[in-house]
Amino acid sequence: MNFKGTLPTLILEALAHAPTHGYRIAKQIKERSQGVLDFKEGTLYPALHKLENEGLVESYEGVESGRPRRYYRITRAGRVALGRDRAEWRQLSRAVTTILGEA
């Protein structure tokens, strides 16, 4: 399913629970959406870097299974943005459901 534009929000949502690295974020989005939201994982990192440039997430070096990994964590500004995005999404979702429900 094409969900371009909502990926940053989904990333923030994945990071809202705990800091993690890109692979886990991708896996979490796919698992939580039960495979509906499938995307090319190479595009996850530009989205993460964009969020980092905007100050919504920050990164640090970590190690997992002896391998160096870059972990990301959500910032305070990121939580504020996530709250705003959630509200906007609910509003949009309600509106679309109303229209499609009437069709």
Partner 1 sequence: MTRLDVWLERATRRLAGNSAAKVRAEIQGHYESARDAAIRDGESADEADRRAVNALGEAAAANCEHRKVLLTSAEARMLREGKWEARAICSRRWLKLALLAIPVAMLLAAAALFASGARALAGMLLSGGIGLALCLATPLLPLYTPTRSRVVRVVRQVVVTGTILMVFGGEALKWSWLLISCLWPMFWIEWKRSSIRRKLPVADWPKHLYLCFVGGICG
Name the residues that contact partner 1, by CB under 8 A: 21-23, 26, 39-43, 45-47, 49-50, 52-53, 55, 67-70
Pick between residue 50 and residue 86 the one whose CB is nearest to partner 1.
Answer: 50
Residue 13 beta carbon to partner 1: minimum distance, rounded to whole angstroms: 19
Structure letter (DSSP) for residue 42? G
**Is the CB of 69 or the CB of 79 nearer to partner 1?**
69
Q: Provide the b/e sequence for 62-81 (b: ≥16 CB within 10 Å).
A: eeeeeeeeebbebbeebeeb
> Any idea of the CA torsion for 25, 17, 87, 84, to the nearest 10 degrees?
-90
Contact 48, 22 (CB under 8 A): yes
Closer residue to partner 1 (CB): 17 or 67: 67
Measured from the CB of residue 98, what is the shortest distance to partner 1 in angstroms?
Answer: 34
Q: What is the closest distance, in whole angstroms, from the C-beta atom of residue 97 to partner 1 in the complex?
A: 30
